[in-house]
Amino acid sequence: MVFAKLRRRWSASPGTPTHSPGGGASLHPRPLDSGLVSGQVHDERGALLPDVNVTIVNRLNQIIAETKTDGYGGFVLSVAPGTHRLSVAAGGYRRFSTKVQVQVNQHSPLGSIGIVPDDSLQLPQPGRYRFDPYHTEIRFVAQHIGMSKIHGEFKEFDGVIEVAPRFEDSRIEVVMEAASIDTGVQMRDDHLRSADFLDVESHPKLYFRSNRLTHLRSDRWNVSGQLTLRGTTSPVDLQTVYLGQRKFQGPGFDNDLRVACEASATLRREDYSVNWQATLAKGIAVVGPTISIELGVQAVVE
């Protein structure tokens, strides 16, 4: 009853987002006399930002509430009365922090909250950058009999990033040795190398070539390209997070300039003519229809 009244008061307050409260709020203990804090987060261009971390700490710096913004950048949190500090954090943006006064059974709307890009994430200078094989991983995850996941990686590969003066015009090329697939089980790896899957004998390499880089927001990019597997080429979009650039000194580093990113994509096996299938007695597929690809890349300027 108390929370129903609070929610009605939240939705009726002026300047409050009209959509439903942000989902996934952490269930910290709430007293019956708690109040509500709400807001809506946007970037420097006014675009609403979903999936942004919102945290409230008390005077002892203890987390008393946390959530993520919803699809419209909104959030609502129920917290104990008192003077607290609210923080908004998103990759590629400066952390926003403000003091918030929460009163018994009252709504404290923060309204529109703007966050700005982190200047430390400057884009790399034009040039040719090559993947560092010792600090780069090309991983994949596949569903197994609907109950567990198989994790693997390609051990041998080469990748080049040609950074253009206008970063959106940059190009990325990656070559992977099909035979280097490794899931930690020899018998399974041999099957994956066979004609049922990668057909290593006829198609020893996998290729990825980008054709467009699109800036989504701050550190988020979409890298569109073509992946060639088993001689079949199909489009793929890599959802990419740019992690910045840095010079390193010390053992294993020669004061080299490095750039880093993380990327992921989902592939459908049928798009690459990987149609091998087996089922269990109840019709459960041994291998799922999709494969998740994950990349962690460090590239060094040449």
Q: Over the stretch 158-201, which tens digit does the pLDDT of each residue have? A: 999 999 999 999 999 999 999 999 999 999 899 999 998 899 99
Whether residues 99 and 137 share a domain: the answer is no
User: What pTM was estimated for this model as a whole?
Assistant: 0.71
* pLDDT score for 91: 85
Q: Is 161 exposed, middle or buried (0-12, 13-18, 19+ CB in 10 A)?
A: buried
Give the span between the Cα atoms of 69 and 62, in whole angstroms. Answer: 21
Domains of the chain: total: 2
Whether residues 71 and 142 share a domain: the answer is no
Count of CB atoms situated within 10 Å of the CB of 165: 8
Query: Is residue 39 domain-resident?
Result: yes
Under the banding of pLDDT at 50, 70 and 90, the label for residue 272 is confident
Domain extent, residue 190, equals 127-301
Whether residues 91 and 170 share a domain: the answer is no
Whether residues 134 and 238 share a domain: the answer is yes
Whether residues 102 and 207 share a domain: the answer is no
Whether residues 231 and 88 share a domain: the answer is no
Give the span between the Cα atoms of 207 and 197, in whole angstroms. Answer: 16
Whether residues 201 and 93 share a domain: the answer is no
Whether residues 103 and 172 share a domain: the answer is no
Give the span between the Cα atoms of 93 and 43, in whole angstroms. Answer: 9
Looking at per-residue confidence, does 280 or 120 come out higher? 120
Query: Is residue 122 domain-resident?
Result: no
Whether 124 contacts 163, CB under 8 Å: yes
- Chain length of the chain: 302
Residues 6+ away with beta carbon under 8 Å from 15: 109, 111
Query: Is residue 197 domain-resident?
Result: yes
Whether 145 contacts 178, CB under 8 Å: no
Q: Over the stretch 109-163, which tens digit does the pLDDT of each residue have? A: 999 999 998 877 889 999 999 999 999 999 999 876 556 788 999 999 999 999 9
Q: Which of 90, 114, 138 is the last residue of a domain?
A: 114
DSSP 125: P
Whether residues 51 and 131 share a domain: the answer is no
